């Protein structure tokens, strides 16, 4: 898979074929990065790698590969005549979205009814405008609205305010998103297992697990913090960033699930590591390329925890 776009002043692409990470320039020159971010020149990758399995909405059912679930009569009527490109379904088939912006409809398949989109916040720092995008995050839906903070008019690159809803329409978190500038870079990175990284267009990101924000971070000024309990809100929505920093990002190969043990060997549960690679560029400092490792642990009692760390960061020239 590849993602193009940064701040429109440079032109590089970030590729992965699974385990290998490759940076390519407009000239056609490419460099492969090892685990230590040492690099060597390679040919331009021809393959595109992805682990995403497409879910399709048909006139009377929703399917992922050979697994299908029937649609109710009201939902069948709602999608009749709709362009298939405007139909999107959650991986678990609990939700179906018709459209993707201000006119989008969100339906719960299991209850065969349309969910109400929450009204925008009115006035003050959290003031919101119209819906910019509606995206599925596993069996949850992310509704992004323009951010119209009244106390300090936001710059054009200000992130959007995203509300995450579950299949019943209840909010599970608020995060900053890149919906206001989604044509550049990566907006959402699917890690599988109902785990996502959502970027906000200003250098920040959120790690969302089962519809709940668990970690917040920033690549432009490296920082990462665990989300608070309850219905967490992204700290990026508590300030206006001073620059646009679209991110290119790809998910690398996932390590097999293993046992999580204490120092004395006591079994604590299961653990799995996932790694993402990122790139963001500025013409005067080059392209920052690095990797973030995210650990997903499940205790013997079923309790899930996560941790996050940046493995490395390397600077490449913007022109080659």
* pLDDT of 162: 93
CA angle 109, 112, 114 (to 5 degrees): 95
Per the DSSP assignment, residues forming a β-bridge with 88 are 97
User: pLDDT tens, position by position, for the chain (320 residues)?
Assistant: 233 333 333 467 777 766 677 878 777 788 777 655 566 777 777 655 555 567 899 999 999 888 999 999 999 999 999 998 899 998 889 999 998 878 899 999 999 999 999 999 888 888 898 899 899 999 999 999 988 887 666 777 788 999 999 999 999 999 999 886 555 566 899 998 899 999 988 889 999 999 999 999 998 888 899 988 766 778 888 887 667 787 888 888 777 888 988 899 999 999 999 999 898 877 667 788 888 999 999 999 999 999 999 988 888 766 55
Query: What pLDDT score was predicted for residue 184?
Result: 58
- What pLDDT, on a 0 to 100 scale, did the predictor assign at position 282? 73
Distance, CA of 279 to CA of 21 (rounded, Å): 11
Sequence spans of domains, the chain: 2-51+119-316, 52-118
Of 279, 159, 176, 162, nearest in space to 219 by CA:
279
pLDDT given for residue 9 in this prediction: 38
CA-wise closest residue to 308 among 197, 224, 203: 224
pLDDT at res. 65? 86
- pTM assigned to the model: 0.85
| Closest of 209, 200, 211, 208 to residue 239, by C-alpha | 200
| Tokens found for residue 91 | 């991986």
What's the pLDDT score for residue 35? 59
Residue for token pair 């200000």: 158
């Amino acid at each position: 898979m590849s993602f193009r776009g940064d701040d429109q002043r440079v032109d590089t692409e970030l590729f992965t074929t699974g385990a290998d990470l490759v940076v390519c320039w407009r000239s056609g020159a490419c460099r492969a990065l090892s685990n230590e971010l040492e690099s060597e020149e390679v040919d331009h990758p021809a393959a595109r790698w992805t682990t995403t399995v497409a879910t399709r909405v048909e006139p009377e059912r929703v399917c992922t590969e050979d697994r299908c679930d029937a649609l109710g009569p009201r939902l069948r009527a709602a999608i009749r005549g709709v362009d298939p490109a405007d139909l999107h379904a959650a991986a678990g088939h609990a939700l179906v979205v018709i459209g993707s912006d201000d006119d989008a409809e969100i339906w719960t398949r299991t209850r065969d009814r349309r969910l109400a989109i929450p009204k925008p916040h009115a006035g003050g720092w959290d003031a919101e405008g119209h819906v910019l995008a509606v995206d599925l995050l596993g069996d949850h839906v992310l509704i992004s609205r323009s951010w119209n903070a009244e106390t300090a008019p936001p710059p054009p690159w200000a992130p959007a305010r995203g509300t995450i809803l579950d299949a019943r329409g209840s909010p599970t978190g608020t995060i900053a998103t890149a919906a206001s500038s989604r044509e550049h870079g990566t907006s959402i990175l699917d890690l599988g297992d109902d785990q996502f990284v959502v970027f906000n267009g200003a250098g920040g990101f959120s790690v969302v697990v089962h519809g709940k924000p668990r970690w917040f971070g920033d690549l432009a000024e490296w920082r990462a913090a665990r989300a608070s309990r309850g219905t967490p809100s992204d700290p990026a929505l508590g300030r206006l960033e001073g620059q646009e920093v679209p991110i290119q990002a790809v998910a690398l190969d996932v390590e097999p699930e293993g046992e999580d043990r204490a120092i004395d060997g006591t079994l604590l549960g299961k653990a799995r590591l996932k790694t993402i690679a990122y790139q963001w560029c500025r013409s005067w400092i080059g392209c920052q390329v690095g990797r973030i490792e995210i650990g997903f642990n499940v205790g013997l009692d079923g309790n899930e925890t996560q941790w996050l760390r940046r493995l490395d960061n390397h600077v490449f020239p913007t022109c080659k």
